Amino acid sequence: MKMRLVLFTACTLVVFSLSAHAARVGWQIGRIADVHQEASTKTTSWVVNTPAASAPQSYTITVESKDKTIVASYDVTAQQPPPPADWVKGSPVRLLLEKNVLYLRPPAGKDLRLSVVKEKKGSSMKPLSAQELAWVNGAPGSQAAVPPETAEAKDSAPKVPQASAEARVAGTLSVNSNPTLSEILVDGKSEGFTPGRVMLPPGRHSVTVQRSGYAPFSKDVTIATREETAVNAVLEKK
Shared domain check, 188 and 128: no
Q: For 98-126, what is each residue's pLDDT tens digit?
A: 989 999 988 777 899 999 999 888 777 77
Q: For 138-156, what is each residue's pLDDT tens digit?
A: 644 443 444 555 444 444 4
**Which residues fall within 8 angstroms of residue 125, CB to CB, at 6 or more apart?**
30, 31, 64, 65, 66, 67
Distance separating alpha carbons of residues 166 and 146, to the nearest angstrom = 24
Structural domain includes residue 228: yes
Question: Which among 111, 135, 156 is the end of a domain?
Answer: 156
Please, which pLDDT band fits residue 178 given cuts at 50, 70 and 90?
A: very high
Shared domain check, 170 and 141: no
Question: Which among 124, 156, 188 is the end of a domain?
Answer: 156
Instruction: Tell me the whole-structure pTM to 2 decimals.
Output: 0.49
Instruction: Average the pLDDT over 199-211 and give the result.
Output: 93
| Residue 21, pLDDT above cutoff 50 | no
Percent of the chain with pLDDT over 70: 67
Domain housing 177: 166-234
Distance separating alpha carbons of residues 208 and 225, to the nearest angstrom = 21
Return the CATH number at 196. Answer: 2.60.40.10
Structural domain includes residue 80: yes
Q: How far is CA 204 from the centre of its chain?
A: 27
Structural domain includes residue 202: yes
Shared domain check, 107 and 196: no
Please, which pLDDT band fits residue 221 given cuts at 50, 70 and 90?
A: very high
Structural domain includes residue 70: yes
- DSSP strand pairing (203-210 vs 183-186): antiparallel
Shared domain check, 140 and 34: yes
Chain mean pLDDT for the chain: 75
Distance separating alpha carbons of residues 218 and 231, to the nearest angstrom = 10
Structural domain includes residue 140: yes
- Give the torsion sign (CA, 155, 159, 160, 161): positive
In contact, 31 and 126? CB cutoff 8 Å: yes
Structural domain includes residue 11: no
Instruction: Please report, as a single letter, which amino acid is at residue 60.
Output: T
Give me the pLDDT at residue 27, please: 84
Shared domain check, 190 and 124: no
| Residue 173, pLDDT above cutoff 80 | yes
Shared domain check, 182 and 72: no
Instruction: Average the pLDDT over 49-62 and give the result.
Output: 68
Question: Which among 137, 156, 175 is the end of a domain?
Answer: 156
Please, which pLDDT band fits residue 65 given cuts at 50, 70 and 90?
A: confident
Structural domain includes residue 15: no
Burial of residue 231 (number of CB atoms within 10 Å: 0-12, 13-18, 19+):
middle
Shared domain check, 64 and 134: yes
Give me the pLDDT at residue 5, please: 53
Shared domain check, 180 and 127: no
Give me the pLDDT at residue 152, please: 43
Burial of residue 78 (number of CB atoms within 10 Å: 0-12, 13-18, 19+):
exposed
Tell me how many domains the chain contains.
2
Burial of residue 62 (number of CB atoms within 10 Å: 0-12, 13-18, 19+):
buried
